[in-house]
Amino acid sequence: MSISDRIHVVDHPLVQHHLARLRDVSTTPVEFRAIVRRLAMLLAGPATAGLATKDLTVTTPLKQTVGRQLSQRIGLVPILRAGLGLVDPLLDLIPTAEVWHLGIYRDEATAEPVEYYQKLPKSNPVDVAIVLDPMLATGGSAVAAIEVLRRWSVPHIKVISLISAPEGLALVTKHDPEVEIFVGSIDECLNDRKFIVPGLGDAGDRQFNTICQ
């Protein structure tokens, strides 16, 4: 499978509808969080389409039938802090998922990722890890997260981001061609401050109402 086959743009009318409102500078933090939740659920559908299942017997009010249930351990890996907004909607869909937080921030002077928190065990990895970060900009934080998960020996890694920059996608796919990436939009580029253009600003600040006035 080629590298391009690993990048999935979820070009759904509902995704585009909610992204337009998410980008708007007038959108309040309350509405912003709600839209992040909706978009996370919309992107989760295609991102989880390949998960393995197994048969089980279900007794309906009329008869027994065969159903299917997930058969893999799923780990949700939000990158703090902006990734927190994508956790609850994914847990609504996969209540048995494990949540493993990663603290990674971007050094404003160097634009390089700095890891400050992770509590992943040294053994017994999940079968599938889904990295959650609303914005895939430089790709540095995603690469750092992927490296942590590879050291944990996770065999299958996916990334869900609401928007991305071509530069970030190129870095992630070059670093680890096996990772699948699911995004709502690939934007134009990064500006000189390494922000996605047109983007939506700082997703963490807009979610948690910490924009400096």
Q: Cα torsion for 83, 16, 173, 165, to the nearest 10°? A: -80
What amino acid is encoded at 198 in this protein? P
Report DSSP letters for 163-208, one per residue: EE-HHHHHHHHHH-TT-EEEEEEE-SEE-TTS-EES--S-HHHHHH
Cβ atoms of 98 and 90 closer than 8 Å: no
The catalytic residue positions are 106, 110, 202, 205
Note whether 78 and 86 are within 8 A (CB): yes
Q: Rounded CA gap, 77 and 118, in Å?
A: 10
Structural contact between residues 86 and 98, judged by C-beta atoms closer than 8 angstroms: no
